[in-house]
Structure 1
Amino acid sequence: MTAIGKTAILVGKSEDIAELGRLVVDVGDRTIGIFRVQGRLYAYENTCPHQGGPVCQGKIMPKVREKIDADKKARGMVFDRSEMHIVCPWHGAEYVITTGVHAVAPDVRLTTIEVEERGGEIYVSA
């Protein structure tokens, strides 16, 4: 993993974030949410672009997609665990955790924070 370009701030230990878990921390005047998906960390400012809600404190859930059979008929909805989302608790806006991009509006995205894991500790950029 590459080193963080700005000042690195220690925010926790690796064991603080289980797979599909999160850690929400205050760093200066920002609140940051850090997520672990498929062993990798992703960090975002805890502000939803929709209306400023605490997005990183929302529900973590798999993408919901429509199940289509061989005849191209809808057969209900299913969870797709290959793409995990964070759902803003204020209005339900969904973002792909691994990209920070809104699930249906690709021009809307969370503000990414540099995050690094080394020596059993987690650092974010200041």
Structure 2
Amino acid sequence: MADPQWQFIGEEDTLSKKRCQRLFAESGKDDDIALFYTEGKFYALEAWCQHQGGPLFSGDIEDLKGTSIKAVQCPWHGYKFKLEDGENTNIPGLNQKKYDVKCEEGKVYVDCTHKLSTQEVRS
């Protein structure tokens, strides 16, 4: 397993104000990440749904029926992905890549090899 490449994303008090947001990859749209915040914790998954490319950062966070497990629902076709591991709850094997997130001293970091920003910086 590769060594973590923790990248500073922003201040926890600012980022926690949005439940879902897009992190823009300098390397291009395909590398964007969706950052989620719910119940005091951050999660990060690939930004675009594996089903047909819907924007997960525009999805809704909800409890999976009968559990306390949080999932994001794609706004295009309703596919649900667990925030903790990116597992699809509709079709086995159609999963989102998950990125580790940590908070230290009020700062949020994502383990990612490509440069990210909360604002679009691509040319």
Which of 25, 28, 33 in structure 2 is aligned with 1:27?
25
Deviations 1:57-105 (A, max 9, x none): 21112223xxxxxxxxxxxxxxx46122211111111111222111132
Q: Tell me what 2:89 maps to.
A: 103
Q: Tell me what 2:103 maps to.
A: 117
Counterpart check, 1:44 vs 2:48: no
* Aligned partner letter, 2:22: V
TM-score normalised by L of structure 2: 0.72
Counterpart check, 1:83 vs 2:69: yes
Which has the larger Rg? 1
For 1:83 and 1:94, the matched residues in 2 are separated by 11
Range moving further from structure 2, 35-44 or 48-57: 35-44
**What secondary structure sits across from 1:82 in the alignment?**
coil
- Structure 1: gaps (5+ residues): 65-79
Q: Higher strand proportion, which one? A: 1
* Aligned partner letter, 1:17: S
Q: Tell me what 1:75 maps to.
A: none
**What secondary structure sits across from 2:57 in the alignment?**
helix
How far off its partner does 1:38 sit?
4.2
For 1:95 and 1:85, the matched residues in 2 are separated by 5
TM-score normalised by L of structure 1: 0.70
- % same residue: 25
Q: Say what the alpha-carbon RMSD is for the aligned residues.
A: 2.2
